[in-house]
């Protein structure tokens, strides 16, 4: 079964507001039914996100991952908590720089954009866009990683 991680800000929730994206809501509903879905945010605590989800009757995710800081480093640190489930994992991301870092770290990514983000935010992430050959090599590396049997790390 697919393990999916959905970044709350920019995918599910409109940043800086209490509102949600309809597209993100639809993605959440589809993934909650067909995958092990985890939510990731650096903005809210687990209690705050639980309240926000409950108010909207959004249920079905496996867990909540709190990133200690915004940006790629915080996202990757939070993703390490489910690293044992990485095989077949997909990160649904709204930040191009974070998506590039996740891809480089071996995570499959889907970059979701919306009209609310505006071209300046997408342009800010444009420097993180890699040449096609680099992307092809990253995909091949991920494929090779999937072929290696996974042995859980000992605590």
Residue-wise pLDDT for 70-117, tens only, equals 899 999 999 988 865 555 689 999 998 999 999 888 888 999 987 655
SS3 state of residue 90:
strand
| Most distant CA atoms of the chain, gap in Å | 45
**CA-to-CA distance for 111 and 83, rounded, in angstroms?**
20
Q: Tokens 């959004």 correspond to what residue?
A: 58
Q: Domain range holding 95?
A: 3-147
Q: What is the tally of structural domains in the chain?
A: 1
Q: What is the pLDDT of residue 17?
A: 84
CATH (domain of 127): 3.40.50.1000
**CA-to-CA distance for 103 and 5, rounded, in angstroms?**
13
**CA-to-CA distance for 141 and 136, rounded, in angstroms?**
9
Summarize the confidence of residues 113-125 as an average pLDDT: 56
Residue 155 maps to a domain: no
């Amino acid at each position: 079964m697919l393990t999916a991680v959905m970044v709350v800000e920019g995918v599910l929730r409109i940043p800086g507001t209490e509102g949600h994206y309809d597209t993100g809501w639809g993605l959440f509903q589809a993934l909650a039914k067909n995958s092990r879905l985890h939510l990731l945010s650096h903005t809210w605590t687990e209690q705050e996100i639980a309240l926000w989800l409950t108010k909207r009757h959004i249920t079905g995710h496996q867990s909540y991952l709190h990133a200690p800081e915004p940006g790629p480093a915080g996202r990757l640190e939070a993703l390490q908590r489910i690293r044992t489930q990485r095989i077949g994992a997909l990160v649904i991301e709204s930040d191009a720089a974070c998506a590039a870092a996740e891809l480089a770290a071996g995570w499959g990514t889907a970059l979701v954009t919306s009209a609310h983000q505006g071209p300046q935010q997408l342009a800010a992430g444009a420097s993180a866009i890699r040449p096609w050959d680099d992307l092809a090599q990253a995909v091949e590396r991920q494929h090779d990683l999937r072929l290696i049997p996974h042995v859980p790390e000992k605590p």
